[in-house]
A = this chain, B = another copy of it.
């Protein structure tokens, strides 16, 4: 029983020399081809598809892409790569935003898209067990008949495994929490190829270290998530949604603070700044007034939702917001939230033909208005086009400069802007990323955020669980 631990611990402390030798890569590729046949792909096009997330980091393709169909196959791949010191990078849908799946040292990309079984749905327990490749929309499609839904909604139709690995959240988090709160248990393949089940389906446990939360948000650097046990929720009896203009970011944030403080169980409360609304109008033809807007949604009983909506309307009015436009019909609600979800594309509509460089920070809500307003002033001073959208109930907001990546000066200007954005958030007691994750792009901010001793603990964890540094090397912790 103690063997795997001892083996992990006694392995060399220093990371394997990266990138691996061409011989090591060739040996792994040969062995994988023998086992996986045409589920191993080495064509440049497919490798490039897997070596690029929506960032300004250049494409960094892996040496090969393999499509396992079971946890055991993932373990086989990891063991093989471990034996040759070759990196393994888990890949869901490639919608992460900070360079999580790029392969800076080459290696084998494990594409989870053939692991899509919904293993069990337990209606009475409000949970389900799914393979990591299932996307959130596929899951909700499957659950609808049973009156259940999985609330976490980062916008993109990401895979459940990827969402767990990046500790994703999104618009519903203010009510339902993040992946941290909605994953009951995980199955993961560790660096030594062992298969770990982190917990049970019990709603709560105090039985030892929280391996579930250790893996959630670890971005494939501590283990490869292959199955996830998720909390589910009953589809609310009633949903109401609406949009409300505000005279300023501050007014919208103050209304949000009072909404949360007064215990109104708002399900979504999203801020879009005037620039983002202009993009949304261009992209989704909503014809909204181009000022700061809150998009709001309530879940509950018919009477409960009505009461909440009225109370919110009163709060908004106290801060100069309104008129309040309620969408009671499902199709109007869908159109509204589709527009919110399309914000990424709407932003690009503001400067067609150029690239979006999305990022996020999160601050205590009392500092949110100040943080957003300072950020907007910086955007203007820099001459950038960078709309803002925020999950304001959590103090989390996104901005995405639309950048000409062929103009080094503009790229540098945008990078300087993001550096200042992070510095501002940290100075206000916040974090360099509320939900996007670290990937490659935010490694440089971690020491300022956590301090050297906490970062040293993270590095110790990485070294002890992945002594060869084969799991998604170059992400989160730069060894």
Contact = CB atoms under 8 A, between A and B. Distances in A.
B364 A206 contact: no
Given A13-B6, A181-B181, A431-B202, A453 B209 contact: no
Contacts of A125: 364-366, 395
A463 B5 contact: yes
Contact of A234 (B1, B234, B263, B307): B263
Contacts of A210: 167, 180, 210, 213-214, 216-217
Interface of A: 1-6, 8-10, 13, 122-127, 166-169, 173, 177-178, 180-181, 190, 194-211, 213-214, 216-218, 222, 233-234, 236-237, 257, 260-263, 265, 299-301, 303-304, 307, 311, 362-366, 394-396, 425-426, 429-438, 442, 445-447, 449-465, 476-477
Contact of A195 (B205, B364, B453): B453
A303 B304 CA distance: 8
B261 A180 contact: no
Contact of A10 (B13, B237, B442): B13
Contacts of A435: 204, 206
22 contacts: A6-B13, A10-B13, A122-B366, A126-B261, A173-B204, A194-B453, A195-B453, A197-B450, A197-B451, A200-B426, A201-B364, A205-B362, A206-B431, A206-B433, A207-B432, A207-B445, A208-B446, A209-B218, A209-B458, A210-B216, A210-B217, A461-B461
Given A197-B451, A197-B454, A205-B434, A257 B460 contact: no
A435 to B, nearest CB: 5
Give 3 closest A-B pairs by Cβ, nearest first: A213-B213, A464-B464, A5-B456
Given A304-B304, A454-B196, A460 B180 contact: no
Given A125-B364, A195-B453, A460-B464, A476 B209 contact: yes
Contacts of A209: 214, 217-218, 222, 458, 461-462, 476
Contacts of A173: 204
Given A197-B450, A260-B126, A261-B126, A2 B459 contact: yes
Given A3-B456, A217-B209, A364 B127 contact: yes
A142 to B, nearest CB: 18
Given A236-B263, A265-B265, A122 B464 contact: no
B202 A206 contact: no
A166 B206 contact: yes
B217 A204 contact: no
A64 to B, nearest CB: 27
A304 to B, nearest CB: 6
A445 B195 CA distance: 19
A335 to B, nearest CB: 25
A231 to B, nearest CB: 11
